[in-house]
């Protein structure tokens, strides 16, 4: 077993490297450029929704009020008539990525921490590099990628988005594992 405190540097450094790599993937490369296409009649949709003053949050439209309502002919007709939506409403006004980027960095630290926890509880000081790579890579991949799959399974998020995010997570996991191998205490 390895002390978790001895792994503070790979946790932080892997988060920094993942932050930089993800910034490149999302801001410089064209990989995610087509993730969210523009809706047809965007202005009309925005004009129609604006007066409703929908509070920021996540919504399902139509949304049954109970199991019984879900089986009702009225609800079935709403589904047939459409549109059927999973809708996330953001606050209006000026958008800033600062909060998102700070939260993403803390999330990357958390993934690194859990990868460190799994490896520290399993491997000794001076552990074989392959074992360090395997444990930190798999556990960080689970944190960066596997949890996203349920969004396509349950909420019909496009599988193409989930696939791209899985590839991204694989790259982040590789970066994390390499940092842990490099800085694993002897």
What's the structural domain count of the chain? 2
Q: Are residues 11 and 83 in the same domain?
A: no
Q: What is the pTM of this model?
A: 0.90
Please determine, for residue 84, whether its predicted confidence score (pLDDT) is greater than 90.
yes
Instruction: Render pLDDT for 3-39 as a digit per residue (tens, 0 to 9).
Output: 999 999 999 999 999 999 999 999 999 999 999 999 9
Q: Are residues 63 and 135 in the same domain?
A: no
Instruction: Render pLDDT for 108-132 as a digit per residue (tens, 0 to 9).
Output: 999 999 999 999 999 999 999 999 9
Q: Write out the residue range of the structural domain in which residue 169 sits.
A: 4-36+96-183
Q: Are residues 15 and 67 in the same domain?
A: no
The sign of the dihedral angle between the CA atoms of 98, 12, 170, 3 is: negative
The whole-number average pLDDT for the span 145-173 is: 95
Q: Are residues 31 and 52 in the same domain?
A: no
Instruction: Render pLDDT for 48-63 as a digit per residue (tens, 0 to 9).
Output: 999 999 999 999 999 9
Long-range contacts at 144-151 (CB < 8 A, ≥ 24 apart) = 144/18, 144/111, 144/168, 144/169, 144/170, 144/172, 144/173, 145/169, 145/170, 145/173
The whole-number average pLDDT for the span 164-180 is: 98
Please determine, for residue 94, whether its predicted confidence score (pLDDT) is greater than 90.
no
Residue % of the chain over a pLDDT of 90: 95
Identify the pLDDT of residue 95. Answer: 81
């Amino acid at each position: 077993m390895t002390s978790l405190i001895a792994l503070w540097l790979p946790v932080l450094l892997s988060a920094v490297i993942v932050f930089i790599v993800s910034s490149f993937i999302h801001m410089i490369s064209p990989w995610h450029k087509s993730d969210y296409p523009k809706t047809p009649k965007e202005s009309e949709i925005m004009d129609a929704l604006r007066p409703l003053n929908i509070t920021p949050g996540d919504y399902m439209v139509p949304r049954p009020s109970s199991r019984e309502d879900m089986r009702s002919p009225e609800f079935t007709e709403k589904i047939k008539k459409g549109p059927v939506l999973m809708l996330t409403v953001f606050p209006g006004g000026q958008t800033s990525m600062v909060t998102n980027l700070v939260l993403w960095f803390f999330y990357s630290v958390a993934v690194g921490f859990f990868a460190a926890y799994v490896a520290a509880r399993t491997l000794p000081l001076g552990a074989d590099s392959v074992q360090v790579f395997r444990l930190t890579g798999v556990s960080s991949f689970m944190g960066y990628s596997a949890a996203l799959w349920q969004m396509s399974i349950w909420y019909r998020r496009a599988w193409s988005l989930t696939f791209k995010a899985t590839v991204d997570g694989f790259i982040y996991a590789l970066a994390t594992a390499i940092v842990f191998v490099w800085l694993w205490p002897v």
